[in-house]
Structure 1
Amino acid sequence: MSKKESFIKGTIILAVAALVARVLGLAQRVPLEHMLNDIGDASFTIANNVYLMLLTVATAGIPSTLSKMVSERHALNKPAEAQRVYHAALIFAGAAGVIMTLLLYFGAPFYATNIARQPEAAAAIQALAPALLLFPAIAMMRGYFQGRNNMTAGGISQIIEQIARVLTAIGLAYVLLRLGYDDTWIAAGASFGGVLGSIGAFAVMLYFTVKLRRSDRELKLPVADRSIPLGGIYRDIFTLSIPIVLSSLAVPAVNFIDGSIVKPLLMGQIGPEQATAVLAVLGNRAQSVAGIPPILAIALSTSLIPIISAAFARKDQDHLERQVTLAMRVAILTGMPVVIALCVASYSINGLLFSSLGGSGIIGFLTFGTIFQITMMTTNSILLGIGKAKLSMVHVMIGIVVKLAASFLLAPLFGIYGIIASTALCFLVITMLNLRSIKAIVSFSILGKRWTGFGLTVIAAGGIGYGLNQAGIQMVDIMPARLAFLLTCLVVGVAVVIIYLVLLVVFGVLRQSELSSYPRLLQKVFRPLMRLQPARMRERG
């Protein structure tokens, strides 16, 4: 297998694993929402957001840095150095795991009671804390295997992790519910699923480690060179990884902030019980649905990042410009129809998946803001691809400050919608700062003069989709409600996507002449539609 084929295969494995993991992660929220009441939903949300925030701090960036360092040393025929780097990373992972676990476990009561104002969440946070013992080590192991050009180990471990996590969370929550425990303990049982997920992932990585060591012994590769000082290794690791860690904090930090401030900011306006209900909807319903639009858009656009990185390294400015433009177009054009469909059908989605119809507006409004999350994540990736991780880090920190300030300013005026608007503003600010920095390096245009056509497409698809949703929900009077909501979601989803695709072509947002530069999946979708485009637009750049 050639290096190119190996790279493509590895990329596909990781992309599929990430997609499966994301879908399973979203899927667990639906049955849990039915088993938990508002207190349980809010407690599970707070625990999950705190955990993901600390997990990002403990692991993000270092695995990719480790992969790079290990790969480089094996390429230079220095496997003993690569092993020493790996051992250093595992030592750090062990220390980070212990510190994060203790911090999460013993800090849970104070955080839940005095900051998030949800004392019942303490048990759920403590139940999840032991997962942090293993996850830093799992992350390092995945990074090492990627550096050794083995993507399968990390991909399988991700899938097993999510399967174990989801089955344990749902199973424990159900058993505790049947035994008559209250929501505090049911939420804690659901949170404990993360611990079983970490054990499952660790077991997979140990299995592949044993296989790799056996192979290394057969090849008579040397053991770690202990004469290399750890200080220099850690300096190299942290210099490369800290900007990536901080750049990766945007979404976990925003969710952590929301879990921390929703109740304190809204209790005075709507009372503690209603504030808890709003937090429950935001965490277990809205954040679950809003996690869907970025999946395809980020996967497609991120696949272009290695090409951008290579073009930048070659100083091929023309190719770099084309690929940056393409990455942004793909992210926006593939993300927007999913955003539109989920927004206009939020009422039906709520009725189909969850236990009540309350909070449909929160779901729709939060989902709309994910278009800015998509552009933020794509531009962050582009900056990383062109070696500007520190700029991305600074912009994310600015965005988080904007999120905090805007939440405190807007919540008294607009309640939960002000807090959600501050999230969209945060992602938009980061996107704009990123775009300004990218344009200082490479001149590019996302849609140029085509924004008008794109805007008309979005308005038309959204308007027709909303009308179909309003018509569809009337069917609850003549058939079971969930069946009516299911049919409405299907009709709205199909109609929005078809109308959106057709109008992109008709309004000339997509042109025949540039179709060959798009990913093959999009070429197959758009090529048959190009006959609908006026001839004068087909050849225009």
Structure 2
Amino acid sequence: MSKQTFIQGAFILILAGLITRALGFVNKIVMARMLGPEGVGLYAMAVPILILVITLTRLGLPVAISKLVAEADIVGDQAKIKRILVVSLAITGVLSILFTICTFLGAKVLSSIFLTDQRAYYPLLAITPIIPIVAISSIIKGYFQGKQNMKPSAYSQVIEQIVRISLVALLANLLLPYGLEYAVAGAMFSVVLGEAASLLYLFTTFKYSKRKIFKVRKGFFQQLWKGRQTLGELLRIGLPTTGSGLIGSVSWTLEAIIVAQSLALAGVATAVATAQYGLLSGYALPLVMLPMFITYSLSVSLVPAVSEASAQKNFALIQRRIYQALRIALIVGAPSTVIMYVFAEPLTTLIYNSPESGRFLKILSPFFLLLYFQGPLQAVLQGLDKARTAMMNTLYGAVIKIVSIFILASQPQLGIYGAAMAININVCLVTLLHFFSIVKIVGFSIQLRDFVKVGVSMLVMALSGILSYAVLLQSSFGSTWGLLLSIALASFVYLIFLLLFRIVGRQDIERFPFVGRWIAPFFPKR
């Protein structure tokens, strides 16, 4: 089983994330055009409840497993690694059965009372079987990530998306004649089938990779009986991590509920409120969160890398890992922010045929540049065994967000735009709290010079995008080709300025998987 360096592992996950995001985005376009804002709104209402239940089921164990396996692997303690897996499987096995039953039985109450739209009942039922599947998958992923082998996680993401996108249109079309809620349920069930295919691959890879080292089934209950100390270690890391995820999930669930109730107070009808929330949560948010696959990849690689460096008391390496992660997040997040702000309405018109959702994209995109730093910063805190600090930061942000949604969205003059503003407040607050927590622990300081250089590159990119789009729109290219060519030109200008400012150099290109060493000689040194 191959082990990768932090940067190699991150790039493998980024490449897989790029593929899965592209496939997932096609999936969202298909859903948006097939189901419309109302159907997307129903989908968006059911998903937060599912995430909440999955968060409770996993109990933060993927992060805990990754950290503990990385530490045990340094000293070659295979018995402890096996014990970690045994205890984790026992916990998630019991919890997944319990929460699957509770979600199935409570779907009617959740949809009709809390979500104010009883049509969400069938999507909730359709997605419920995913709970035990995701629980087991997350344990296997945590094991491979602790071994700093990111390939199984990367391949499983691609498999999940391929299966999902192959079935979503088929199932939604098949059930659409029975009603919109059944079509949404069909789209939800395609997610279940995709995760099942991903688990099958992960399980096969896991069984093959560890067969010469240990067998999980052999002495399972004996290892479980001896696993009291391991349980304590898992919960010490997992519970605060669960707390962070739980706060985020509860916040997301409450967001759907509070937005619906606040818009009702503002005099907005239920069907209109559902459609408006669909524009915000189902159309605009997926676009601004598109670069998150990069920060997620960095986060997954950071936890074992920082844990390993922390166990060795190598604080210089920890600071280097933080700098590398934030630098990658900045370089990629900056052009994404420019594209989504400058081309907000043309993008949402092209992708969703919904120019009105472009207004939400324009409100969110400038602030979401900070969100791209949030995941890596939280991963650093978890790797430093400061998961509780990350949890408290998330809690403060969630409370402020929910209060802000209620205050702003209930104002008739703001309505759903008030909810978008509250989301921005949350993003800024939590990211800054994470950053200052890390500064306090390891004394990390940001390189302002890099931020200034990227800021100038963003400004030039924005100007070139605006000018080129205005010119191409008047030519024979048309709006679609004009938009695509303008984005390509603006991105090229951004890349040129990164090279001129030596933000990106030959040593960065060399780290790209597969093609890096072949194209690196064409780039200048940084």
Q: 1:498 aligns with which of 492, 496, 506?
A: 492
Cα contact 1:345–1:492 (8 A) shared by 2 = no
How is 1:106-505 mapped onto 2 (pairs within 5 angstroms)?
A: 106-146=105-145, 151-177=150-176, 180-211=177-208, 215=212, 223-224=219-220, 226=222, 228-248=225-245, 252=249, 255-267=252-264, 268-296=266-294, 299=297, 312-313=310-311, 315=313, 320-411=318-409, 412=411, 413-448=413-448, 454-469=454-469, 472=472, 484-503=478-497
CA contact (8 A) 1:350 1:360 kept: yes
Mapped contact 1:293–1:370 kept (Cα < 8 A): no
**8 Å CA contact 2:291, 2:336 repeated in 1:** yes
Offset at 1:361?
Answer: 0.9
Q: What is the RMSD of the two structures over their aligned residues, measured on CA atoms? A: 3.7
Deviation of the 1:46 alpha carbon: 1.2
State the identity %.
24
Deviations 1:454-510 (A, max 9, x none): 5454344334424444555567xx77xxxx34313322322332333445577xxx4
Q: Return closer, same or farther for 1:167/1:256 CA change in 2, 3 Å cut-off.
A: farther
Larger RCO, structures 1/2 (Cα 8 Å, 6+ apart): 2
Q: CA deviation at 1:335?
A: 0.7
Question: Does structure 2 retain, via aligned residues, the 8 Å contact 1:116–1:264?
Answer: no
Q: Secondary structure at the match of 1:387?
A: coil
What is the CA–CA distance in structure 2 between the aligned matches of 1:133 and 1:301, rounded to whole Å? 24
User: What CA deviation, in whole Å up to 9, does each residue of 1:99-132 have, x standing for no partner?
Assistant: 2222322222222222222221121111111111
- Once residues 259 and 415 of structure 2 are traced to their aligned partners in structure 1, the CA distance between those partners, rounded to angstroms, is 9
- Cα distance in 2 for residues equivalent to 1:75 and 1:125: 43
Paired residues of 1:294 and 1:370 also in contact (CA < 8 A): no
The answer for unaligned runs of 5 or more in structure 2 is none
Give 1:40 shift: 1.4
1:98 corresponds to 2:100: no
Q: Give the aligned residue type for 1:135.
A: V
1:150-197 deviation digits (Å, cap 9, x = unpaired): 6544443333222222322221002223xx222111111111112212
Going from structure 1 to structure 2, the CA distance change for 1:265 and 1:72 (only over 3 Å counts) comes to same
- Cα separation, 1, equivalents of 2:137 and 2:490: 41
Show the counterpart of 1:534: none
Return the offset for 1:418.
1.7
Check the 8 A contact 2:341/2:366 in 1, yes or no: yes
Q: Which has the larger radius of gyration?
A: 1
Which shifted more, 517-526 or 431-440?
517-526
SS at match of 1:409: helix
Aligned partners of 1:79 and 1:221 also within 8 Å:
no
| Distance across 2 between alignment mates of 1:455 and 1:243 | 35
User: Which residue of structure 1 aligns with residue 47 of structure 2?
Assistant: 48
Is the alpha carbon distance of 1:98 and 1:339 closer, same or farther for their aligned partners in structure 2, counting shifts above 3 Å?
Answer: same
Q: Bigger shift: 370-379 or 67-76?
A: 67-76
The one-letter code sitting in structure 1 at the alignment partner of 2:418 is G
1:465 and 1:526 map into 2 onto residues whose CA distance is: 27
Q: Which amino acid aligns with 1:236?
A: E
Q: Which letter maps to 1:381?
A: A
Give the unaligned 5+ runs of structure 1. 532-537
Which one-letter code corresponds to 2:56 in the other structure? V
Q: What is the distance in 2 between the residues matched to 1:316 and 1:142?
A: 26
Residue identity matched to 1:29: K
* Contact map agreement 2:405 2:418 (CA 8 A) in 1: yes
Contact (CA 8 Å) 1:123, 1:188: kept in 2 or not? yes
2:109 maps to a residue whose letter is F
C-alpha change, 1:344 and 1:53, in structure 2 (3 Å) is farther
How many equivalent residue pairs? Answer: 518
User: Following TM superposition, by how much is the alpha carbon of 1:414 offset from its aligned partner in structure 2, in angstroms?
Assistant: 2.1
In structure 2, give the amino acid aligned to 1:489.
Answer: L
1:373 CA drift (Å): 0.9
Task: Return closer, same or farther for 1:152/1:215 CA change in 2, 3 Å cut-off.
Answer: farther
In the alignment, is the contact (CA less than 8 A) between 1:88 and 1:233 conserved in 2? yes
Residues 295 and 75 of structure 1, relative CA distance in 2, 3 Å threshold: closer
Does the CA contact (< 8 Å) of 2:280 and 2:420 recur in 1?
no
State how far apart, in whole Å, the 2-side matches of 1:65 and 1:74 are.
Answer: 14
Structure 1: distance between partners of 2:347 and 2:46: 25
- State the 1:27 CA deviation: 2.4
Distance 2:212 2:178 in 1: 50
Q: Do structure 1's residue 59 and structure 2's residue 58 form an aligned pair?
A: yes
User: Distance between the aligned counterparts of 2:336 and 2:217, measured in 1?
Assistant: 49
User: Which has the higher mean CA deviation after the structures are superposed, 153-162 or 372-381?
Assistant: 153-162
Conservation of the 8 A alpha-carbon contact between 1:142 and 1:154: yes
**Letter aligned with residue 483 of structure 2:** C
Cα–Cα, structure 1 residues 414 and 76, in superposed 2: closer, same or farther, change >3 Å?
A: same
